[in-house]
């Protein structure tokens, strides 16, 4: 059996004709930039996110940049975020001239450790940029409270979390602004790059919209230097077909995650992702990421205090040998997996000059050597799920 990490084939077999009809409608209309499809999607997505405004843009990365710009974050400012994320999270901060300040993650949920954020706040801090990683929403009640106490803005990175909720509210509606990606592999995916920014602030929404079209509040009148970052009509048309299906797709992802939990529970050497970090959480499972724990004989507290951490002992090829062995073994059985993420952002060559202290990011570095994402998409059938789990069990138990 061959099991891909993600596939659109089955989805297209179900809704392909609707997508074709929607795309050809745009082509025949000749309205490729803006227009009815974009307006409809922005309205519908705002409603889905429980926000007053949604502004379509070219990508999730652009959504982050537009949000930062609209909040007047730039050179000399610092933004607290996670190093255990896709590079774009920090890249957007750097792109506006600000400095990303990385706080370590909680290894139980892969999210920013809320107990450590306070230590990173100083007079240069202007915002906190939490990542709802893999579809798992962070405790926004605690995070927003902390931000308000310190006069900071909150920019939610919702790139992997369309459909996730915290305390009954959609991610993207709880901070000052939310940033979404509709990359094809996301819970809500376009047929190329696409993104959106959500907010409840009228003035902020207006500025984001203007920045996305060359800083232009009206045609040929430019109040500031902006960008060309528009959601094109064809992508909007595809998203309009898919958006009503998102709740059902997420329910299917949640069932797949539960099945994986049941099938893999108790297997030695593996740590499964938490199904819930609180009763208030609704996880959308963009990825199902396990930890293949190496060095199990070393106590976590002892490891944290070890002098080896000064030498990046938590992040090297030796520490990932168990994870890589399992990944290779699964590949041989026809099960494709992905590593999100093999190298933390603070150790990327692009950030070498900042000299981030690995001792403060030991959990992040350890996770990068242990995590493995199993196949998950709404159309993954139970036979495929069982084959993935049984393949893992056979490999682990035979080692």
Band (277; pLDDT cuts 50, 70, 90): low
Contacts of 62 (CB under 8 A, 6+ apart): 195, 212, 227, 229
Collapsing DSSP to helix, strand or coil, 130 comes out as coil
Cα separation, 176 vs 67, whole angstroms: 9
How large a percentage of the chain has pLDDT more than 90?
90
CA 66 from chain centre, in angstroms, equals 17
Contacts of 368 (CB under 8 A, 6+ apart): 84, 315, 320, 341, 342, 343, 344
pLDDT at 398 over 80: yes
pLDDT for residue 353: 92
Q: CATH class for domain 9-245? A: alpha beta
Contacts of 180 (CB under 8 A, 6+ apart): 45, 60, 63, 158, 159, 162, 172, 188, 195, 196, 197, 198
**In Å, what is the CA distance from 275 to each residue of 82, 216, 282, 307?**
21, 45, 9, 34
pLDDT for residue 253: 97
pLDDT at 361 over 70: yes
Q: Are 227 and 216 in contact (CB under 8 A)?
A: no
How large a percentage of the chain has pLDDT more than 70?
92
| 54-76 tens-digit pLDDT | 999 999 999 999 999 999 999 99
Cβ-in-10-Å burial (0-12, 13-18, 19+) of 59 comes to buried
| 71-105 tens-digit pLDDT | 999 999 999 999 999 999 999 999 999 999 999 99
How far does the chain reach from its first CA to its final CA, in angstroms? 22
Band (320; pLDDT cuts 50, 70, 90): confident
| 284-300 tens-digit pLDDT | 999 999 999 864 434 44
Cα separation, 112 vs 60, whole angstroms: 20
φ, ψ at 198 (rounded to 5°): -120, 150
pLDDT at 279 over 80: no
User: Minimal CA–CA distance to 104: which of 87, 117, 94?
Assistant: 117
Q: Are 173 and 163 in contact (CB under 8 A)?
A: no
Q: What is the mean pLDDT of the chain?
A: 93
pLDDT at 230 over 60: yes
pLDDT for residue 298: 40
pLDDT for residue 274: 82
CA 6 from chain centre, in angstroms, equals 16
pLDDT for residue 314: 43
Cα separation, 50 vs 41, whole angstroms: 14
Q: Are 69 and 211 in contact (CB under 8 A)?
A: yes
Check residues 319 and 96 and name the one with the higher pLDDT. 96
pLDDT for residue 294: 63
Highest mean pLDDT among 28-32, 233-237, 302-306: 233-237
pLDDT for residue 310: 38
User: Minimal CA–CA distance to 303: which of 63, 257, 295, 370?
Assistant: 295
| 107-151 tens-digit pLDDT | 999 999 999 999 999 999 999 999 999 999 999 999 999 999 999
Q: Are 4 and 374 in contact (CB under 8 A)?
A: no
| Four-way CATH pick for 247-398: 3.40.50.720, 3.40.50.300, 2.40.37.10, 3.90.1150.10 | 3.90.1150.10
Return the half-sphere exposure (C-beta side, CA atoms, 13 A cut-off) of residue 31.
13
**Domain residue extents for the chain:** 9-245, 247-398
Check residues 301 and 233 and name the one with the higher pLDDT. 233
**Sign of the dihedral through C-alpha 380, 381, 384, 389:** positive
pLDDT for residue 311: 37
pLDDT at 5 over 60: yes
């Amino acid at each position: 059996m061959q099991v891909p990490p993600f596939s659109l084939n089955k989805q297209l077999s179900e809704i392909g004709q609707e997508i074709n009809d929607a795309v050809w409608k745009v082509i025949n209309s000749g309205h490729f930039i803006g227009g009815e499809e974009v307006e409809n999607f922005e309205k519908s997505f705002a409603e889905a996110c429980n926000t007053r405004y949604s502004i379509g843009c070219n990508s999730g990365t652009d959504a982050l940049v537009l949000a930062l710009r609209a909040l007047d974050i730039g050179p000399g400012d610092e933004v607290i975020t996670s190093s255990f994320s896709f590079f774009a999270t920090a890249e957007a901060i750097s792109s506006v001239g600000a400095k990303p300040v990385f706080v370590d993650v909680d290894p139980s949920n892969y999210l920013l450790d809320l107990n450590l954020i306070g230590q990173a706040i100083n007079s240069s801090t202007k915002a906190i940029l939490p990542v709802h990683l893999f579809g798992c929403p962070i405790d926004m009640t605690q995070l927003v409270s902390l931000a308000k106490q310190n006069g900071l803005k909150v920019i939610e990175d919702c790139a992997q979390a369309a459909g996730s909720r915290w305390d009954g509210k959609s991610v993207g509606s709880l901070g000052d602004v939310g940033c979404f990606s509709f990359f094809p592999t996301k819970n809500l995916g376009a047929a190329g790059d696409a993104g959106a920014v959500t907010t409840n602030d009228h003035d902020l929404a207006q500025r984001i919209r203007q920045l996305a079209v060359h800083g232009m509040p009206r045609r040929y009148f430019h109040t500031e230097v902006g960008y060309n970052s528009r959601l094109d009509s064809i992508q909007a048309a595809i998203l309009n077909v898919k958006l009503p299906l998102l709740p059902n797709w997420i329910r299917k992802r949640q069932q797949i995650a539960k099945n994986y939990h049941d099938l893999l529970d108790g297997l030695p050497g593996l740590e499964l992702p938490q199904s819930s970090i609180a009763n208030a959480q609704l996880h959308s499972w963009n990825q199902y990421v396990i930890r293949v724990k190496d060095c199990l004989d070393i106590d976590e507290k002892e490891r944290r205090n070890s002098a080896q951490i000064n030498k990046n002992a938590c992040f090297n090829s030796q520490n990932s040998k168990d994870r890589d062995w399992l990944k290779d073994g699964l590949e041989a059985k026809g099960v494709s997996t992905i590593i999100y993420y093999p190298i933390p952002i603070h150790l990327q060559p692009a950030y070498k000059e900042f000299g981030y202290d690995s001792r403060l990011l030991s959990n992040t570095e350890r996770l990068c050597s242990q995590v493995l994402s199993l196949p998950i998409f709404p159309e993954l059938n139970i036979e495929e799920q069982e084959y993935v789990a049984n393949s893992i069990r056979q490999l682990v138990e035979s080692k």
